[in-house]
Amino acid sequence: MFEVVYSAQARRRLRRVPANTAQTMVAKIDGLAADPAAPNPNAAALKGGPGFRLRVRDWRVLCVVASPEKLLRVAAILSRGETYR
């Protein structure tokens, strides 16, 4: 199991999204932290950089896995429109 570390931006955004969406996000992030290498239909590798994005309803969670430290860093939580600009 990887330890989940949230950036300041991710923590702020998680507090501002609706409660049911925040619970879903945390559950999917925890599921990903259990085994980042397992196939996940909602996760995709980012092009042009390390990490991947996790799709949760109309939100995108940008994550980076640090394998030697066993960390899953949540870099940002963005709305779908913000992500693809």
DSSP notation for 9-54:
HHHHHHHHS-HHHHHHHHHHHHHHHH-TTS--TTEEEPTTSS-EEE
CATH of the domain at 22: 3.30.2310.20
pLDDT digit string, tens, across residues 19-76: 999 999 999 999 999 988 889 899 998 888 788 899 999 999 999 998 889 999 999 9
Domain range for 33: 3-83
pLDDT at 60: 94
pTM reported for the whole predicted model: 0.87
Residue pointed to by tokens 């290498």: 37
- Dist CA 51 CA 49 (whole Å): 7
pLDDT at 84: 66
- The number of folded domains in the chain is 1
pLDDT at 4: 96
